[in-house]
Amino acid sequence: MTRYRVFLILALLCVVLIGGVFATPGIIEGQYNRVRNRPPYAVPTAAAELQQELFIADLHADSLLWGRNLLSRSTTGHVDIPRLQQAHVSLQAFTVVTTIPRHLNIERNAGSSDMGRYLAIAERWPPSTWNSPKERALYQAGRLRMFETESSGKLVILRSRSDLQKFVASREPQRVAALLGTEGAQPLEGKLENLDELYAAGFRMMSPTHFTDTDIAGSASGQQKGGLTELGQEWVRSMEAKSMLIDLAHASSVTLRDVTAIATKPVIVSHTGVKGTCNNTRNLSDDELRAVARTGGVVGIGYWETAVCGRDAQAVARAIQYAVKLVGVEHVALGSDFDGATTMPFDATGVPLIADALRKAGLSEHDVRLIMGENVVRVLSQSLPE
């Protein structure tokens, strides 16, 4: 998501220059959610056959941020329901972005600016969203519920353990389950009571930070990079009481240490790379990987270049292999960061390339099944509310 600042400046200029006639969101998105290699993708027959049998789960996509109808196939962006169906993706986490700092980068960002309001204006969101991260989260959740209603049963939002169990038991190739999460605790607006409203809207996953420090904790890309605040400790207890999944993507090292030290349920990192194959501020150290694994959680490996220091499925597979060797196959999953203002090696229809790369790297079919989705099912089975 390192290109949001440029995107927002362009979007604001469009609003100003054409006198309130907003630019088409899809045209703007096309400049920022790019694909290096356009589909269709050549997948060996054996990998394609295995793909149809796998339960595939992706822990992170920012698709609700953009103006596309996700029920219709598009050539813009990375994810929509038809493309997920084509790739036999069974479960997609849709994570909402609510604030964006000026001069966004992966090293240090101030929380004093909020370019998200300009995005809300450019995307024609209701005025209530223009100055409220909570309302932006609720608006995006409402879009996902609308897609669910209009999908004729092809899209189902997971709200409980029972929902997950029913979906897995009656799994059909053309049905996609959705998990709703927030990328950062900004929608709380500093008030834990707002967690009730977000839960009622369908959110079952939340991270304490995004690119800036929050009232809850420090971000890996924040100014202070501190740990859990006193409010943050209450937040961990409230999240577990509601059976909401804690996502430590973008958390500072101190925050990750603090959360994993007190968590009584599995935590995840929805989208990341590993320093062992791609050493930068954005990615997890060996100790951080071990800390997440000790909770029983999983780490979702992303596909973009900053995460894996490469531009193909083989680079993703290398990062996955490293994590598997370090913490065990049961703690590794997929976390694409599709539609996160990222340039990807492929769109959602290219996910079979990862399974093929893992097979060619020597992983067993059993391990590939766990990584591609079954680990996520396990964690959700332990974490979602009854």
Q: Mind listing the pLDDT tens digit for each residue in 258-317? A: 999 999 999 999 999 999 999 999 999 999 999 999 999 999 999 999 999 999 999 999
In this prediction, residue 15 carries a pLDDT of: 46
Q: Is there a contact between 11 and 28 (Cβ–Cβ < 8 Å)?
A: yes
Q: Mind listing the pLDDT tens digit for each residue in 150-195? A: 999 999 999 999 999 999 998 887 899 999 999 999 999 999 999 9
pTM listed for this prediction:
0.92
SS3 9: helix
pLDDT classification of 20: cutoffs 50, 70, 90: very low
Q: Is there a contact between 175 and 153 (Cβ–Cβ < 8 Å)?
A: yes
pLDDT classification of 19: cutoffs 50, 70, 90: very low
Nearest-CA neighbor of 284 among 366, 220, 370?
Answer: 220
Q: What's the mean per-residue pLDDT of the chain?
A: 92
Domain that holds residue 379: 4-383
- How many other CB atoms sit within 10 Å of the CB of residue 239? 26
In single-letter form, the type of residue at position 265 comes to K
Question: What letter would DSSP give residue 242?
Answer: T
Q: Mind listing the pLDDT tens digit for each residue in 219-235? A: 988 999 999 999 999 99
Q: Which two tokens stand for residue 328?
A: 């065990």
Q: Report the C-alpha gap between 228 and 60 in whole angstroms.
A: 23
Q: How far is CA 141 from CA 8, 52, 196, 200, in A?
A: 22, 29, 14, 10
Q: How many domains, in total, are found in the chain?
A: 1
Greater pLDDT, 329 or 119: 329
In this prediction, residue 153 carries a pLDDT of: 95
CATH code at position 40: 3.20.20.140
- How many other CB atoms sit within 10 Å of the CB of residue 52? 9
pLDDT classification of 22: cutoffs 50, 70, 90: very low
